[in-house]
Amino acid sequence: MRTTTVRHRQWLSRWRASLPSVAGILLAMHAAVIWADDLPTGLFVAPATFSISVEENLLPGGNVFKDGEVVNTGDPGAVPSVQRLHKTEHSSNFSGRSTQILEGFASAQADNTGNGGVGVSNWLAITPGVNVTSQLASKAVWTQTFTNTGNADIKLSLNLHIPDMEIGLIGVPPNRTGPSNTETALAQVELATSINRAGGTLEHGGDFKFGMKASEKQFPLGTGPNVTTFSNFAVLDPFSSGKLPINPFLTLKDNGDDSVPKFTIDKLAFTQTLGTLHPGDILSYVYTLTAEQTTHGAEQGSFAFLGDPFDFTASGGGFVVTAAIVPEPASWVLSLAGLMLIAVNRWQARQGSRTGQRPT
């Protein structure tokens, strides 16, 4: 009898210790049947805005071209998509992309589904008497605001489909007899999220930034009679920051070409939590695709792409915001857990009185 009582007590002790897990499972089962429509009650969604821009700078001299367009999807007659293409003078497109365009260019496109692409490409030949630095940039931006006017917490997430990324340098010389200009290429994806709390504080949500930058570097090898020898080579800088749920560089590839180095990342898909809105809170996000490059001429150039700015389907981008009410602990679950604990304590008390031992 004593052995049986000890075993019962051990089993009950283990069962009692597992009660928090049991309660958690019950809560999860209860939460699983709670679902929200596309717009949960109490969530006010402002119309989304998307925009594109392309620009060219020549240094010295400054900006020589800038154009873009902003679309508020709430405006009557708002267009579903926008695009811009700017071709540069005295340049060539040797990127291998958009081969129908012979000149260097900056281009961007975006639509009301979050799909978009940006790209820049430029190669300058030697132009006697002309020494300029050409800079091209293109951007596609989406932004939207959400307000919790209800009485329950609401969790917002972004289901992202990021287009493929590609950057490269064109014409990296292996050696030079003197200092020379260098080229750069940059492609970047960024999400900035801000939450204005009802109490007056400002918080960041699911921010992140990642991308790649390629730069041509020059390193002195040594000196000889009246000659200084330099080595030119490409350096890749993959960068990331913020709350990324995945490693964005798992598919990073290098073509292995020292003269025309190219680096790529396959398209990505993941869900990013924007944040949880308490009653009275306001959340805003800004999602940006950026492509930039610089070249100094002398038969050199660079390129950067995120998706294909001339083909919406090929870009493979887009995103969807999802929202769900954050479930509160169900009263019936908590009551059940409490009753179970009371029953265990009473049972142990009775067993202890029968054996002359105090309950543990």
Task: Read off the pLDDT of each residue in 77-103 and give the average, rounded to a whole number.
Answer: 91
Asked if the model's pLDDT at residue 306 lies above 70, the reply is yes
- Structural tokens at position 310: 């001339």
* Segment among 11-20, 32-41, 64-73 with least mean pLDDT: 11-20
Task: Read off the pLDDT of each residue in 185-206 and give the average, rounded to a whole number.
Answer: 96
- Structural tokens at position 81: 């998509």
> Across the strands, what pairs with 139?
53, 290
Cα–Cα distance list, 8 to 218, 345, 356 (Å): 77, 13, 15
pLDDT for 302: 95
The answer to whether 301 touches 97, Cβ cutoff 8 Å, is no
Residue 48 CA to residue 74 CA, distance in Å, equals 7
Task: Read off the pLDDT of each residue in 310-336 and give the average, rounded to a whole number.
Answer: 68
Measured in degrees and rounded to the nearest 5, phi and psi for residue 37 equal -70, 180
Global pTM reads 0.79
Closest by Cα among 231, 198, 64, 206 to 137: 64
Residue 19 CA to residue 58 CA, distance in Å, equals 69
Give 122-144 pLDDT, tens digit per residue.
998 766 556 678 899 999 999 99
